[in-house]
Amino acid sequence: MANITPRKNKDGVITSYTIRVYHGYDGAGKRLKPYTMSYKPAPNMTARQIEKELNRQAVQFEEQCRQGYSLDNRQTFAEYAAYVVSLKERAGVKHSVICWYKAQLERVNAGIGHLKLCEIRPQHLNTLYEQLSAKGLREYGKKAGGKLLYTCS
């Protein structure tokens, strides 16, 4: 069950709500950090409408957490890409393919690696594509899809 907590300003007026979903304990018996979400109601909503929408949001968020769709707003693209490459390694993808992924990620991370996943927008990707296709920024003078000479440790 989700836990809903109102957040108030210094005057005591409720400005938003925090929805927390707890997901158990780790191997040492310590409680895991809960998934959290903020909900800010529209200013023209009545108390009954706020309560109804808040409960709907809480149920939806809890279901997403249970299914594993919860988004970590602090995770950067570089962290996520490293995680995906490690999954590919464990899945048994060839070593040469993993090396190629890592070589390409160095170039991609230079463009968008610092951005958080929730901040990435189409214009960021368009800018990245332009940077990768620019003549002076390409490694070895070739496009990203061409054969590159790379070394893998």
Q: Where are the domains of the chain?
A: 3-67, 77-141
Residue 34 has what pLDDT?
A: 87
Residue 138 has what pLDDT?
A: 53
Residue 53 has what pLDDT?
A: 94
Give me the chain's average pLDDT, please: 84
For the chain, the straight-line distance linking the first and the last C-alpha, in angstroms and rounded, comes to 47
Residue 46 has what pLDDT?
A: 93
**pLDDT at residue 39 is higher than 80:** yes
Residue 8 has what pLDDT?
A: 94
Distance of alpha carbon 86 from alpha carbon 58, whole angstroms = 33
**pLDDT at residue 6 is higher than 60:** yes
**pLDDT at residue 10 is higher than 90:** yes
62 burial via Cβ count (<10 Å: 0-12, 13-18, 19+): buried
Distance of alpha carbon 77 from alpha carbon 33, whole angstroms = 22
**pLDDT at residue 116 is higher than 70:** yes
Over residues 40-93, the pLDDT tens digits come to 999 999 999 999 999 999 999 988 888 776 556 678 899 889 989 988 998 898
- Contact between 142 and 134 under an 8 Å Cβ cutoff? The reply is no
Decide: helix, strand or coil at residue 44.
Answer: coil
Of 103, 61, 60, the C-alpha closest to 81 is 103
Sheet bearing 35-39, strands edge to edge = 3-8, 14-21, 35-39
Q: DSSP code of 123?
A: H
Q: Give me the percent of the chain exceeding a pLDDT of 90.
A: 39
Residue 28 has what pLDDT?
A: 84
